[in-house]
């Protein structure tokens, strides 16, 4: 639901991967963004109208993405898809991060657009700042980028995990995400993302950012 820049790009990407796609939008002109080669269904209407959803094939859908420009429309349609039509994979774009947390707890994955963009900007502007890149629906576990001291270069992820108490979720190396193993050696320039809780994040950050001398003194 929603054929703006995000919705049209998502629809094209899914179709390129061989999926059958239906797109709903209130404005029929929006479907021009899909291009002339789009072979899916287009339905003009409100995405939280049950008849509109049925016309788009919601009853046989494997997944539903609510990516219109309105938070309320996205959430209502996402809940309809999930709770009324039993779609197993549902995701909603949300601009208000506070609402996103509520709906995550209802079992509807969300992408909080403004918060995500702001966090990405913040990370580039203030590299030493700690910004979450993920928080689980129960708000217990999060993934944070953990700046590591240069003394960690040449040491293994296992050593970092054992000393910090966190778990490495993934690395960004040369601009590419990679899943490390306990024996993976940290290289200069690696961005390390770790799984933490609110109770442990402070210690994890302190230990990762500390020099070898400060750790030995500790």
Report the DSSP pairing between strands 191-197 and 141-146: antiparallel
> Is residue 89 pLDDT above 70, yes or no?
yes
**Residue 143 and residue 132 in contact, taking contact as beta carbons nearer than 8 Å:** yes
Q: Report pLDDT digits (tens) over 196-214.
A: 998 899 899 999 988 665 5
Q: Can you tell me whether residue 195 is helix, strand or coil?
A: strand
- Residue 115 or 109, more confident: 109
Name the pTM for this structure: 0.58
What is the percent of the chain with per-residue pLDDT over 70, rounded to a whole number? 84
Contacts of 24 (CB under 8 A, 6+ apart): 1, 2, 3, 42, 43, 44, 45, 47, 52, 53, 56
Taken in order of first residue, the domains within the chain and their CATH numbers are 5-117 (3.40.50.720), 129-217 (3.30.70.1450)
Q: Band of the pLDDT at 137, cuts 50, 70, 90?
A: low
Q: Look up residue 113 and give its two tokens.
A: 């657009």
Q: Can you tell me whether residue 175 is helix, strand or coil?
A: coil
Q: Report pLDDT digits (tens) over 148-176.
A: 999 999 999 999 999 999 999 999 998 88
Q: Look up residue 39 and give its two tokens.
A: 């072979």
CA atoms within 13 A on the CB side of 105: 8
Q: Report pLDDT digits (tens) over 32-84.
A: 999 999 999 999 999 999 999 999 999 999 999 999 988 889 989 999 999 99
């Amino acid at each position: 639901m929603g054929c703006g820049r995000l919705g049209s790009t998502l629809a094209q990407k899914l179709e390129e991967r061989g999926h059958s796609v239906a797109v709903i939008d209130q404005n029929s002109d929006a479907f021009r963004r899909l291009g002339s080669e789009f072979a899916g269904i287009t339905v003009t209407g409100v995405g939280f109208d049950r008849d509109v959803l049925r016309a788009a094939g919601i009853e046989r859908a494997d997944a539903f993405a609510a990516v219109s420009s309105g938070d309320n429309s996205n959430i209502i349609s996402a809940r309809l898809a999930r709770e009324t039509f039993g779609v197993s994979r549902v995701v909603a774009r949300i601009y208000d991060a506070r609402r996103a947390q509520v709906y995550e707890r209802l079992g509807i994955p969300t992408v909080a657009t403004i918060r995500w963009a702001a966090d990405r900007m913040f990370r580039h502007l203030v590299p030493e700042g700690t910004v979450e890149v993920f928080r689980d629906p129960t708000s217990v576990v999060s993934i944070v980028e953990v700046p590591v001291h240069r003394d960690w270069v040449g040491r293994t992820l296992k050593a970092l995990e054992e000393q910090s108490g966190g778990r490495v979720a993934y690395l960004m190396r040369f601009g590419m995400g990679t899943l490390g193993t306990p024996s993976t050696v940290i290289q200069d320039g690696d961005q390390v993302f770790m799984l933490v809780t609110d109770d442990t994040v402070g210690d994890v950050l302190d230990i990762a950012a500390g020099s070898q001398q400060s750790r030995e003194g500790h």
